Structures are given as structure tokens and as C-alpha cells.
Copies of this chain bind each other. A is one copy, B any other.
Amino acid sequence: MTGAGTNHTIPSLMGGPAIILVRPQLAVNIGMCARAMANFGLSDLRLVNPREGWPRTGALRKGAYAAAAGAVHLLEQARLFASLEEAVADLNGTFATTARERGQLKPVLAADTAMAEAASRFSSGERLGILFGPERTGLANEEVALADKIVSFPVNPAYASLNLAQAVLLVGYEWMKAAHGAAPPFQPAERSPAAPREMILSFFDYLEGELARVGFFRPLAKRPVMQNNLRNMFHRMNMSEQDVSSFRGMIVRLVEGPRADRPKKKSQPPSDDKG
């Protein structure tokens, strides 16, 4: 039915909990939810009585498909249900998203905790669904009662105004983190190996020698403190071999002045060399 819980061998991110939009008001919002889902590898979209009707046909198609921004395959695969009971019939567990307390004795979980639980249950074969209510009103109490647990989001109490697609986005994001790891999608650019301490100390010796030569350390009694401060600044850079080479080259150039093989600029006095 859903494909959830079965496609563990496909490397492309698929499956995960069903996203169940209950009585969504606007087709364009259904498209935006599809886009949010696709970003985080969710693929099972279910619609219960969308107010504007089925967004795959007629005039609604255009707005919903534009909002889906390339995630139209989720709209194509989405399933329409006449009741929430039918939409959750094949699921083992359901979470209801709500923005306010509902007077129902269910566990209330933050989205990260809920999706950590969902990822664990999903990986042991359970089929799960997350319920989202209509834009203006949220889920009705009897719809919340159909769920095992409540999911909510920490928001600014003075301004709590998450819209439907934003709520789907946050659930998808926490699902992604819990199910597929929270690492960023790329690593820093390849850097040269970390410099061995010997290389760094050799650079310090050279630099401090040149600084002493030009009278940088004044008063002389302060040289040890000044040197330590300088060395600590460099240590904070966590230099690679390439970094040390670049820095050393820079100091050499400053000390020795313009390269002989480079045409000297007019404005530069030729006797500026210090070395």
C-alpha cells in the first residue's frame, strides 16, 4: 500500500511516516506540503477530504503543482480518503500535530522526540502517520482522539503562527535528522593535512626572529608574553600544512620585499627591502 517500511534497500530516500492532511483548505498548500516532504525524503502523502477537491485535476492542478516545485511525483502518488479512519486504517501508530492543549490524556512530544520515536518504530517495521489539521482550525478534537500521541513545536508564545506547510517542513526535518542522520549534506572543502607541531614551531622561530630583528618586541622584557600571545593566536587557527606554508611565504615576502622577477610598481621605492 504505502511502500513505507519496505524499501530499505533503495538508497534514494523514500518511505517514512505518511503525512496525512486532514481537510486541507487550499490546493496550493497541498503542493507546498509535497515540496516540504520531498526535501526530507518523505513520500507517502494522504489527503482526507480536501476542501477544494482533488488537486490533480481541473483548475486546482496548476496552483498545487506550481507550489510543489518539482515534487509533483508526490501529488501524483497521493491518495484521497473520505474519512480519517480510512486514511489511518493500515497504520500501526499515529501522531497528531496540534498547536494548543486539547484536554486529552495523551503524551505531548516535541517534534524531535516524536520523530526519534518514529524512526525507531519505522525501522522495526511499523507503519506510522502524522496528522495535520486544516489551515485555520487545526485538527478537531475527535480527530486528535484517533492518534496515539500529540506532536507540537516549541514556538514564541507571543507569536505562534506556523502554517500547514511549515509544520510539515519541521516534522520532515526532524524525521530526516532522526532517520537519516543530522550531518550537513556536504563536508568542508578538502584541506591539506593538519600541520605537524614541528612545522609550526619552525615557523614561530622564523617569525619571532624576524620580529626581534625589526624591533617589534618593546619593551624587551615583554617579549615572552608577547610571543605567547602571538603563538596562541596562531594556534587558534588550527593550521594545515598549506596554511603554515602560505603564512611563512607571506612573512618572507614582507621581510624580503618585492620579488626581483616581478616588474616593480612605479610608486614603490626600490630600496624598500628590509632583508
Chain A positions within 8 Å of B, measured between CB atoms, are 12-13, 35-36, 38-41, 69-71, 99-110, 112-113, 150-163, 166, 169-170, 173, 176-177, 180-189, 191, 240
Chain A interface, >50% SS class: loop
Once A39-B161, A107-B188 are accepted as A-B contacts, the answer to whether A182 and B169 lie under 8 Å apart by CB is no
Separation of A182 and B154 alpha carbons in the complex (Å): 6
Nearest residue in B to A176 (C-beta to C-beta)?
B154
Which of B99, B102, B103, B156 touches A40 (beta carbons < 8 Å)?
B156
- From residue A7, how far is it (CB to closest CB) to chain B in Å? 13
Nearest residue in B to A162 (C-beta to C-beta)?
B39
Nearest residue in B to A36 (C-beta to C-beta)?
B166
Residues of chain B within 8 A of A183, CB atoms compared: 110, 154
Residues of chain B within 8 A of A176, CB atoms compared: 154-156
Separation of A110 and B183 alpha carbons in the complex (Å): 6
Residues of chain B within 8 A of A108, CB atoms compared: 184, 186-188
Nearest residue in B to A101 (C-beta to C-beta)?
B186
Which of B70, B105, B157 touches A191 (beta carbons < 8 Å)?
B105
Residues of chain B within 8 A of A240, CB atoms compared: 105
- From residue A233, how far is it (CB to closest CB) to chain B in Å? 15
Flag if A156 contacts B13 (CB, 8 Å).
Answer: yes
Nearest residue in B to A189 (C-beta to C-beta)?
B103
Residues of chain B within 8 A of A104, CB atoms compared: 188-189
Nearest residue in B to A41 (C-beta to C-beta)?
B156
Nearest residue in B to A192 (C-beta to C-beta)?
B105
Flag if B185 contacts A152 (CB, 8 Å).
Answer: yes
Residues of chain B within 8 A of A158, CB atoms compared: 12-13, 41
Nearest residue in B to A177 (C-beta to C-beta)?
B154
- Which 8 pairs from chain A and chain B are nearest by CB? A152-B184, A101-B186, A38-B159, A41-B156, A13-B156, A103-B189, A110-B184, A108-B188
